[in-house]
Amino acid sequence: MPTTTQGYEGNTPAAAITPPIASSKQQLPPAKSVDTQAVLKRWLQSELMSLMMGGDPGISAFPEEDNIFCWKGTIHGSKDTVFEGTDYKLSLSFPTDYPFKPPKVKFDTACFHPNVDVYGNICLDILQDKWSSAYDVRTILLSIQSLLGEPNISSPLNTQAAALWINQAEYRKMVVKLYKPASA
Amino acid sequence: MGVETTLSSAFNLGVLDSMTNDSIEEILESWNGLSTATEALLKGKGDLSVGSDFISCVQVLCKHRLRELAQDHFFQVLEVFRLFKAASTFWRHFVVYTEFELSKMDEFDVQEGIQQVLCKALEDLSLEKEYQEKCLLMLVHALQSHQEGTLDEQHGSNAVRSRVFSKYHLMISSVLMTSLPRHFPVILRFYFKQRLEELSVMMARDNKDLDESPNKDNMDLDERTKVSYRDGGMDIDEMYLDKKLSENNKLVKNIGKVVRDLRSFGFTSMTEDAYASAIFYLLKMKVHNLAGDDYRNSVLEPIKEWIQAVPLQFLYALLAYLGDSVSYDSPSSGLKSPLASHPSSCYPGVDTPSEGLVRWQLRLEYYAYETLQDLRIAKLFEIIVDYPDSCPAIEDLKQCLEYTGQHSKLVDSFISALRYRLLTAGASTNDILHQYVSTIKALRIIDPTGVFLEAVGEPIRDYLRGRKDTIKCIVTVLTDGQGGNANGPGNTGDSLLEELNRDEGNQELSGYDEEFNSDDKQSWTNAECWEPDPAEADPSKGSRNRRKIDILGMIVGIIGSKDQLVNEYRVMLAEKLLNKSDYDIDAEIRTLELLKIHFGESSMQKCEIMLNDLIDSKRTNSNIKATMTRPPHAVPEHEEAGVSADVVNATIISSNFWPPIQDEPLNVPEVVDQLLADYAERFHVIKTPRKLLWKKNLGAVKLELQFEGRAVQFTVAPVHATIIMKFQDQTSWTSQNLAAAIGVPVDTLNRRINFWITKGIISESLGSEPDNHIFTLVDGMVDSGSNATSTAVCEDLIAADEEGERSVASVEEQLRKEMTVYEKFIMGMLTNFGSMSLDRIHNTLKMFCVADPPYDKSLQQLQSFLSGLTSEEKLELRDGMYILKK
């Protein structure tokens, strides 16, 4: 992690200052950014490795075919919640300054949930202002999984879902009705 | 044309006008005379005495320009009264053989019959023909005598003669042909076949005589020269032929006569067909007889000799015999046959064989090549099984193929034979591998460019890839040459070590291998020296470079990468080294050096360290022992127990470089334990800061069991020794107690103790609890008979016992361990992507699985791993896509 920090901080000022300096120096920033990208790649790879080896049930994610900055995730609805027995696909895209900025996470599968809008955007504090570089893919997925069972009714994105939440039986019916599993 | 016709008819009418009554009467009279005379001549038995009447009548008619009429009348009568009858008489001879087929005529009487019948029929017909020709001559004479009066030109009279005779020949052959029974060609063919067989037998006898003649007392000068023909003297050839011919003259003459007769009746092409097919049939038989199932001798030369000796001799003689007769008798037809051309070519003149004979020879040789080639190709599988011994057969085949160029036939046939006979579940991998190596070697002879080898090798390689034990077998084949070398060079035929040895000198090649990934490098070199040259490539060109890498390259090609091979070798080497009781590793060093040449120093580095460990062990071992025996206080103590440091020999390994070693807990007897601890301590003193960690379950123990009055020696595994030593203090143990004392699980104990039970030293009985057996030491006297042999067989038994309990984790086990990481990755990606193809899984693993060790498996390995997961019901394979099984 320290290497990442140095690499990142050392890069930006250099890029900002360079304009008046000779062209030879101008070659540097891209080289350095490749460097940080390589570091980030390794970071994400090790996250992937720990995610794979961790074997948490019900959550999973994997990079898309050739791009380690875009992951597909899968969350299994926890037992004893209205989402039991459903699988939700997510997409995660990592910014170049990850893990200092949170990844963008959204649902690919339509999810009838108070904190998820019709486009799949998620309202979750740790994905916005409460982000910490200590979080990783695993904690994000676990948070979203628990968010499914414990929505934040006070600031809903989907008011209909928030209103219905009190009636769990009806809500379950809605979930089942709206659930469209990803084609296998 | 039309004008001419009218003119001639006008002329004829003019003749009619100018005719007097006298002349008409004369014509009528002579016409009647002619009719009677012709009938007398040709009807019934025939009467030549009316010849003069006939001639005068014809002359009279000719005078009145009715020549055509007379001639036509004659032929008409001839046809009606003679030819039809003659033809039917001729064919009646063969009626008996109507149901005749070549295959069915093996009975002797039939054979004899045919020959006689044919000769008789031809004789009769010839007599008849002779008579008819006599009549014909009269006609010709009459016509000629008339013409002499009018035209008196020599060649004109000859023209008449030839015209008449050719018309006659046409008639006789067309009459015969139209009534030809279907089985006649078969009869002819059979006749020639029989004659040729007879001739062949005669020739063979001559040859034998010739071989034996040096032993004969009455060997004359003439024969001596014949003997020296065998040295190939060209001038003696003639004499040899002379002798042959004189001996076989009668036979050939007989045949020649038949042929001539047949030709004269217009059967030219049929006769030729018949004896050609008979010759080919015989040649085929000869090739089959000579070649048969014996691959150890070259048969090409004998076949060629035979062709020279029998069929060509026959044709030669036939040509010669027909020579003079053909010259005038042949209707010089458009049939250009080998026999018809240059029939007069000189009789024994070997130096100038006729064009026809040469053509025959070429035809026969080609046929022989083709037949032999087909025969060998059909048996190629067996030939290659016998490979080093069957070299002559392979050389033959090579020559045949060079002649015929039918390589593709070989490839097709051999591949199907392989599929059917070798690449089946029943064949052991070792056999397949040996066959593969033999195939490579054999096909290299036939086709040095390796084009066909490539085609043939592909199915074998594909099949071998599907077998689990392939790598193991390859390594064994590669490295187990030691046994062969010790037994003498005769046994090394199928060992690849020989192959390694052969290329020992090629240092320049190994230079490349070290620095580059040899697979890429190799394919690059291959690509560079590629030539578009299948069958007709120059064998001497471009092949040297290929050959060097051939066998090993192709073997490694089966596995895909040399790393796997090296890895397997390492495991095998570890096993071998750990089981050594002495430090003699010369053979292994040699093998390793050879492997280094081929696979590069760097890839064999770990193996080299292993060998160095052994060498170091030897030195360290003697060093430690020297220092250990010095302290005098230890001596009495150890002697009491019967154990001293002298008996310990340690193999000290650098375990980082060795394959993972199986570790089983074992409580060795205290004395031994103490000894080992002392040893380890000494080691630490000498080699500080290194420490020695014993693998107590490994190694070998030599022990002697002393019973009343006799002693038995064993070499056993430590666990066996530990077990039996426990019975020293206490003759009876329950399995649980014993297991606890030794420190192994009960079921392991039960398995291991079997060794002593089978030796009759320990007996097993049921205890109070069902799974707590009681083991008791058997008194040594019980079955001394079986014990007497025990020393001899005990090594085998250990081997059998240890099967599957190797000291080194096998490559498969290592692989399985690595693969569990990949399994999690595969599960992860399939959870998120639903279904994926093999390729995509492979690529994704390559890209994202950066575990230690990184993903480095081949597509095949991944596939077999995935199919393992499929059979564990974790995955499902649908339309080439893997999906998670829910």
Residue at token pair 């564990």:
B872
Nearest CB to B828; choose among A45, A60, A65: A60
Nearest CB to B828; choose among A45, A62, A89: A62
pLDDT at B54: 76
DSSP per residue over B124-137, as a string? HHHHHHHHHHHHHH
Mean pLDDT, rounded, for A65-79: 86
pLDDT at B103: 52
Q: Is A123 a catalytic residue?
A: yes
In B, which residues are within 8 Å of A49 by CB distance? 849-851
Mean pLDDT, rounded, for A160-168: 86
- In B, what residues contact A, Cβ < 8 A? 821, 824-825, 827-829, 831-835, 840, 843-844, 847-851, 883
Closest CA to B812 of B462, B430, B470: B470
Interchain CB distance below 8 Å, B829 and A62: yes
pLDDT band (50, 70, 90) for residue B157: low
Closest CA to B259 of B238, B237, B276, B241: B276
DSSP run (H or E) holding B273: helix B268-291
Mean pLDDT, rounded, for B152-161: 63
Q: How far apart are CA B780 and CA B827, in angstroms?
A: 60
Mean pLDDT, rounded, for B425-438: 81
A49 touches chain B (CB under 8 A): yes
Taking CA–CA distances from B842, the nearest residue in chain A reads: A65
Residue B572: both structure tokens together: 């095998």
H helices then E strands: how many in chain B? 38, 8
The sign of the CA dihedral B694, B696, B701, B704 is positive
Interchain CB distance below 8 Å, A52 and B825: yes
| Number of cross-chain residue pairs from A and B with Cβ atoms under 8 Å apart | 51
Regarding beta strands B835-837 and B875-878, do their DSSP bridges make them parallel or antiparallel, or are they unpaired?
Answer: unpaired
Interchain CB distance below 8 Å, B833 and A72: yes
Mean pLDDT, rounded, for B451-477: 79
How far is CA A146 from each of CA A123, A138, B252, rounded to the nearest angstrom? 13, 12, 109
Q: Is the peptide bond before A30 cis (omega within 30 degrees of 0)?
A: no
Q: How far apart are CA B440 and CA B464, in angstroms?
A: 15
% of chain B exceeding 90 in pLDDT? 0
In A, which residues are within 8 Å of B840 by CB distance? 65
pLDDT at A12: 37
Pick among A44, A49, A71, A75 to test the B interface (most B CBs inside 10 A): A49
DSSP per residue over B448-499, as a string? TT-HHHHHHHHHHHHHHHT-TTHHHHHHHHHHTHHHHHHT-GGGGGG-HHHH
pLDDT at B45: 63
Tell whether the model's pLDDT for residue B644 goes beyond 50.
yes
At a CB cut-off of 8 Å and minimum separation 6, what does B539 contact? B448, B449
DSSP run (H or E) holding A60: strand A59-64
Question: Across all residues in chain B, what is the average pLDDT?
Answer: 71
The catalytic position among A61, A82, A123, A147 is: A123
DSSP run (H or E) holding B705: strand B701-707
pLDDT at A34: 61
A45 touches chain B (CB under 8 A): yes
Residues B276 and B184: beta-carbon distance below 8 Å: no
pLDDT at B251: 73
pLDDT band (50, 70, 90) for residue B852: low
Residue B405: both structure tokens together: 């160029």
Interchain CB distance below 8 Å, B832 and A45: no
pLDDT band (50, 70, 90) for residue A19: very low
DSSP per residue over B188-239, as a string? HHHHHHHHHHHHHHHHHHHHHHHHHGGG-TT--HHHHHHHHGGGT-HHHHHH
Residue B180: both structure tokens together: 């030809």
Considering only residues B80 and B151, tell me which one the structure prediction assigns the higher pLDDT: B80
Q: Is the peptide bond before A99 cis (omega within 30 degrees of 0)?
A: yes
A89 touches chain B (CB under 8 A): yes
Q: How far apart are CA B207 and CA B200, in angstroms?
A: 10
In B, which residues are within 8 Å of A184 by CB distance? 834-835, 883
pLDDT at B100: 58
Interchain CB distance below 8 Å, B835 and A184: yes
Considering only residues B248 and B517, tell me which one the structure prediction assigns the higher pLDDT: B248
Candidate from B301-310, B448-457, B602-611, B632-641 with smallest mean pLDDT: B632-641
3-state secondary structure of B654: coil
Interchain CB distance below 8 Å, B832 and A52: no
Residues B718 and B697: beta-carbon distance below 8 Å: yes
Q: How far apart are CA B827 and CA B835, in angstroms?
A: 11
pLDDT at B526: 62
A52 touches chain B (CB under 8 A): yes
Tell whether the model's pLDDT for residue A21 goes beyond 50.
no
Residue B260: both structure tokens together: 């001539």
The highest-confidence range among A169-178, B150-159, B790-799, by mean pLDDT, is A169-178
Tell whether the model's pLDDT for residue B122 goes beyond 70.
yes
User: How far away is chain B from the Cα of A175, in angstroms, using its nearest Cα?
Assistant: 21
A76 touches chain B (CB under 8 A): no
Interchain CB distance below 8 Å, A66 and B847: yes
Tell whether the model's pLDDT for residue B218 goes beyond 80.
no
Considering only residues B24 and B327, tell me which one the structure prediction assigns the higher pLDDT: B24
At a CB cut-off of 8 Å and minimum separation 6, what does A175 contact? A82, A83, A86, A112
Closest CA to B432 of B362, B398, B491, B384: B384
Considering only residues B569 and A92, tell me which one the structure prediction assigns the higher pLDDT: A92
Interchain CB distance below 8 Å, A72 and B832: yes
Candidate from B135-149, B301-315, B329-343 with smallest mean pLDDT: B329-343
